[in-house]
Structures are given as C-alpha cells and as structure tokens.
Amino acid sequence: MYIKFYEYPIGTVGIAETGGTVCRVVFGNGIPAGFTVKETPPLKRAALQLTEYFEGKRAAFDLPFACQGTVFQRAVWDALKAIPYGETRSYREVAASVGNPRAFRAVGMANHRNPLAIFIPCHRVVETGGGLGGYAGGLPAKQYLLDLEKRRPSG
C-alpha cells in the first residue's frame, strides 16, 4: 500500500493505492497506518488526472478505484459519481436517489466516509438551503472545487 503527496490549488493532497487501484485521498500530509510513501505508476496516473481536473481539462476520471464500505455507502458513492460536473445536489436529493428520501443524515455520514474525495465528488453535495455542509478537505477547498467546476465547462 503506497501513498504519494502532491500540491494542488487546494493544498497538499495524498493519493494512495493498493494492488494497482486508487483507494484513498488524504488532505494534508499525514501518512495513514500501513502505507509507505512511494510514487507508483497508478499514483502518477491519478496525479496527472487530478492535475488535468484542476486545469479544467478533465471532468471525469478514468482510473481503477477500490473503496470499501457498506451497501448503503457504496450506493451513495455511486449516486455522487452520477452528479454531473458543475452541478450540485442536496443531501436530501441524494437520499431520494438511493431510494431512501429520509436518510439525508446518513448520506452526510456516507459522504464523510468517502475515501476518494474529488474522484468521487462528494464536494457536489450541499445543504438544501444552499449552505456548503461539510468537507474533509475543509470548506475553503469545497468552495474552490465548486467554483472551479462552475467557471470551467466540462470537456
């Protein structure tokens, strides 16, 4: 299990892989237990795609991902991947899209446990009233990502 840290407009982002698949994003430079700092070909590819995203040249990622979660969490993460670039959905709307409209708090917890922030775009989920809600990378990073997607059309 390997991790490499890269600098992006939102700060230091660690990208981790195991068995050739991207498995985690870490904000800051903390090394998760069991990981070794080393750049591997899958991490180089992921970092390049993230750079292209920040440059406005990429709206979707073409990488092998491995993330573990409950059936509900995986359903929420799939729903997040379906939110179009540059758009947002409320926690309530995501809950409805996974067949449980009253589970908006559980959607928030699934977002909180999203191991692949940015790649699985939990930043696109906001409060019903338009507030940002939370974000593992901090609210300034979430706002930056939303603004980035609004000013640069997908392509």
Q: C-alpha distances in angstroms, 124 versus 3, 80, 93, 148, 153?
A: 25, 8, 12, 12, 15
The active-site residue, picked from 15, 23, 122, 136, is: 122
Number of Cβ within 10 Å of residue 32's Cβ equals: 13
User: Could you tell me the pTM of the whole model?
Assistant: 0.93
pLDDT in tens, the chain (155 residues): 999 999 999 999 999 999 999 999 999 999 999 999 999 999 999 999 999 999 999 999 999 999 899 999 999 999 999 999 999 999 999 999 999 999 999 999 999 999 999 999 999 999 999 899 999 999 999 999 999 999 876 55
67 is a catalytic site residue: no
Domain range annotation of the chain: 2-54, 71-151
Q: Which fold has domain 71-151?
A: Arc Repressor Mutant, subunit A (1.10.10)
